[in-house]
Structure 1
Amino acid sequence: MHRDYIRATLLIFASIAIGVVGWSGHVLLLPVAMGFPVLWSLTRTRLLAAPVSAGYFLAASRGLPQGVAAFYSSDIWPGLLLWLCASMSFVIVHAILWTKNAGTRPFRYLIAVVIMAIPPFGITGWAHPVTAAGVLFPGWGWWGLGMITAGLAGLVTRIWPAVAIALTGFWLWSAAVWTDPKLPEAWRGVDLELGVSLGREAGLQRQRDMIATVRGAASDGALYVALPESALGFWTPTVERIWTGAFIDSDATVIAGAARVDASGYDNVLVAIDRKGGHILYRERMPVPGSMWQPWRSWFGGSGGARADFFANPVVSIGTSRAAALICYEQLIVWPVLQSMLHDPDLVVAVGNGWWTEGTSIVSIQRAATTAWAKLFAKPLVTAFNT
C-alpha cells in the first residue's frame, strides 16, 4: 500500500512537471508534452488516471487564473473557478477512456486524442500533445500528423521505451537543424505594446497613430501589413473612411483586428483595408469561452457575446494568396488550424491581443503552437501581437 502511494504521488508530480515544461512557451520543448500519455498508461486505476490527467492539464494552463483576474480586474477566484471547470473535460475524457487492458489501450487513447481535438470537448482542448508534430516532423504535413498519432498510440503500449527513444531521435535531429517559419515575401507583422488600451481607446488620435505605425512598417516596400487583434477597435463606416483615405496613395493592404457589433452581439474579425476601401476578411471561429463566447446568455433572452463561427471561413483570400487566419484563442486549440490546412493555404496569419496575459506564458505558448503548426505544414507565418 505504501509503495502504491509513492508510485501514485510520483506519477502526479511527473505529470505536473511535463505540463510545466512542455507548455513553457518554448517551441522546441513542446515534445515534452508527449510524456503525458506514458504516465496515463502507467496508472493502475481509473481513480489515479484522473489526478494524473488533472496535474498535466492544470500545469499546462497555469496562466489562466492570473490572466482571467487581469481581464476582469477582479481577484483570482473567478480565474481559479474557470481554470478548474475547463480542466474537467480533459480529466473526464481521459479518466473514462482509461483501461487496464493493454490490448485496447492504444485505441482508447486515440479516441481521447480525437475527442479533445474537435468540438465540443475540443473547445477547451488546450495543451494537446499532437501540437508537437511540427517540432518532430517539420515539413511532413499530414504524414507528420499521422506519424505523431502513431507515436502517441505507441507510447501507451508495453513497448513505449522503444517508441520514446525513436521519437527522441526525431526531436534531437529537428532541434539541431531548427529554423523558424519564414515570413512571406512582401509581408510585415507589427507587434504592439499598448496594453489594455488597444481596442478600448479608439479615438481619432489613436487611429492616426496606428496609421503612422503601418506606414512605417510599409516604408521598405511591404505590400501587406498585419496588425494585432482589436487594433482598430469597433469596425464602423467612419473608421473605414479614415483608413481608406490614409492609404489612397499607397499600394499597401492592411490586415487588422476589429470588432463588428450589431443588436445580437458581435463578431471578432480581421478586416482588410486598401485604397479602394475595407471589408471583413475573417470572422473568428472560436472566441475565448467565458470571457467572449457566452452562448448561455441566449438561453435567458440575453445578447452581447461574441459569436462563434466554428467551421466557417477556414481560408481567406488576400491578394493572389490564400491564408489561414487564426485569432488569439484559436492558436491554443487544434481543429481551427487543421480545418484550414485541409484547404492547403499559402500562408498562416496569426494575431492576438494578450495584454491580459502579462506575467504569464500564454502569449509565448500561442506563438510556440502557431510556429509548430506552420513548420509541420511548411507554411510561411505572419504574426502580430499586442502585449
Structure 2
Amino acid sequence: MAPTVHTELAGVFSITAGSAWLSGGDSLLGPLCSVGLPLAVMLVRSGKKLDRMVVALGYYLVGCWPIVGAVTGYWGSEHWGIGVVVWLVASMVLSVPWVLASGPVGALMAILITALPPIGVIGWLSPLNAAGVLFPGTTWLGLLLLLGAIPVIYTPGCLRKYGALVLVLGSIGFNLSYREVLPPHSWVGVQTAIRPSNNNILKGIANNQGVIEAGLRAGAGAKVVVFPEAILDNWYPGTQHQLSSAIPRGQIWLVGAESKNSGSDAVMLTGHSHSNPEPVAKAAGLLLGGDWIPWEKDSLRPAWVQSVFIVEGKRVWASLCVEQVQPWTWLEAMAQRPDIILAMSNDWWAHSSTAPGIQMASTRAWARLMDIPLVMAVNLGQSQKSSSDLKAVFDSLRAVRSSVS
C-alpha cells in the first residue's frame, strides 16, 4: 500500500496543487501540479471515504474559484451569489468520485469519471492534463504512462522504488527531446479587443468592421486567418456579405460566430466574395454564460460531438472556449488525429478572472501531448489590455517563431 498521512497534511498537499492553476497563469505549472490531486487523495488512510472527498474538495475549491469571477464578469457583480453557488456545486460534484480512491483501481475510476461525461462536462482541472507536461509528444502512450504510475505508487517494494525512477527518467528524456511544433507561417491567429454589441444593431455593425480591420491587419500575407470564438453576434446574410466582400483574394477566414440558423456557437468559413452558410465546426463543450438554456427553443445548443474539418488540405480541430479545459473533448481530438489545433476563445468578460489562463494552460498541455501545432485566437475585453498591448505581445511571439524556424 502507499504510505499514509493525516488528512490535514494530505489536504494541504491537495490545496497547493489546486492553487498552482491560479498562480501559474497560462504556464504549464497548473497542468503539471494536477497530478498532485490523486497523489494527495491516495495519502489518506484506507477506509476514510469522507476524508478522501474532503481532500479532493480542497483541490477543486481552490482551482475552481475563477468560476465566481467568470459569472460576475459575464452577468455583472450583482450576480456574485449565483457565482458562489455554481463554484461550490461544481467543486462538490467533482470531489465525490474520489471517495472511490482507496486503491489503484478506485483512483483510476475517479480520474475517468471526472474526465468523461456526464460529470466530465464540468471536468476541468483533470489530472490527465499532466500527461502533456510529463510526456510530451507521446499521445496515447503518455496517458497510459500517467495512469500506469498510480499502480506503481500503490505497489510496495522494488516495483515502487524502481518504477518511480523509470517514470521520472522517462519524463526527463521525453522533455529533453521534445521540440514544440509551430504552425505554418501561412496560418495566423487574430487577437482582438471587442466588447459584445448586446443586440445593439449599430454596435454590431461597428464590431463587424472591427473584426474586418483586425483580420486585414494581422492576416496580411497569410492564407488562413483564424478569429476568436463568438466574435460575431450572428451569421446572417448581411454579415456574410460584409465580411466576404472585404477578404483579400486567395485568403480563407475561419470566424467564430453565433449561428442562429444552426443554433450553435460555431466556426464559419468564408473567403473572397463567398461564404459557407453552414458551420464547419460547432462547440461540443457545455456552453456557459447562459447561452445554453435547454427549455428555450431559440437557445444555442452544444453539439456534444465534434469532428475535424479540412482547410487547405489540413485536418483541423477547433477547440472553442470551455472545451479547452474539458478532457473528453481533447480525447475526441486525439482520436481524430488533426494536423492543426485552433484555440478560439472570447474572454471579454474576464476583467480580473484567471479563467482564461487556465484555459490556455490546459490547451498548451494537450497540444504538447499530441505534438500538434497550435493557432491561438483570443478576444479580450478593453478593460484587460489595450489592443496595442496585445499586438506587441503577439508580434514578439511571431518574432521568436521566425528566429526559431
TM-score (normalizing by structure 1): 0.87
Structure 1 segment 49-198 matched on structure 2, within 5 A? 49-73=52-76, 74-95=78-99, 97-99=100-102, 105-158=103-156, 166-172=166-172, 180-196=180-196
Contact kept, 8 Å, 2:223 with 2:252, in 1: the verdict is: yes
Conservation of the 8 A alpha-carbon contact between 1:202 and 1:233: no
State how many pairs are aligned.
Answer: 367
**Alignment correspondent of 2:304:** 310
Q: Which whole-Å CA distance do the structure 2 matches of 1:184 and 1:198 have between them?
A: 36
Aligned residues of 1:326 and 1:351 also touching (Cα < 8 A): yes
Q: Secondary structure at the match of 2:6?
A: helix
| Aligned counterpart, 1:12 | 11
Whether the aligned pair in 1 keeps the contact of 2:30 and 2:361 (CA below 8 Å) is: no
5+ long unaligned stretches in structure 1: 100-104
State how far apart, in whole Å, the 1-side matches of 2:285 and 2:160 are: 35
| Cα pair 1:233 1:258 within 8 Å, conserved | yes
Alignment of 1:1-387 (within 5 A): 7-22=6-21, 24-25=24-25, 26-44=27-45, 45-73=48-76, 74-95=78-99, 97-99=100-102, 105-158=103-156, 166-172=166-172, 180-196=180-196, 202-219=203-220, 221-247=221-247, 249-261=248-260, 266-279=263-276, 280-289=279-288, 291-295=290-294, 298=295, 302-311=296-305, 313-387=306-380
Q: Return the offset for 1:317.
A: 1.5
**Structure 1 CA distance for aligned equivalents of residues 139 and 148 of structure 2:** 14
Q: How big is the alpha-carbon RMSD for the aligned residues of Structure 1 and Structure 2?
A: 2.5
Question: How much identity, in percent, do the aligned residues show?
Answer: 27
1:199–1:377 distance in 2 versus 1, CA, 3 Å: farther
Three-state SS of the structure 2 residue aligned to 1:357 is coil
- Distance in 2, Cα, partners of 1:360 & 1:163: 40
- Describe the shift of the 1:31–1:81 C-alpha distance in structure 2 as closer, same or farther (beyond 3 A): same
Change (3 A) 1:214 1:289: closer
CA gap of 1:359–1:49, structure 2 versus 1, over 3 A, is: same
Distance in structure 2 (CA, Å) of the matches to 1:47 and 1:77: 27
| Distance apart, 1:334 and its partner CA | 0.7
| Deviation, structure 1 residue 284 | 0.6
Q: Check whether the contact 1:122–1:334 (CA below 8 A) recurs between aligned residues.
A: yes
Contact 1:109 1:153 in 2 (8 A): no
2:371 counterpart SS class: coil
TM-score, with length taken from structure 2: 0.83
CA contact (8 A) 1:106 1:157 kept: no
More deviation, 178-187/132-141: 178-187
Shift of 1:287: 3.2
Structure 2 unmatched ranges of 5 or more: 381-405
Q: How far is 1:167 from its partner?
A: 4.4
CA pair 163-194 structure 1, distance change in 2 beyond 3 A: farther
Q: Give the Å deviation of 1:222.
A: 0.7
Rounded Cα–Cα distance in structure 2 between residues aligned with 1:385 and 1:181: 20
Structure 1 residue identity aligned to 2:87: W
Match in the other structure for 1:102:
none
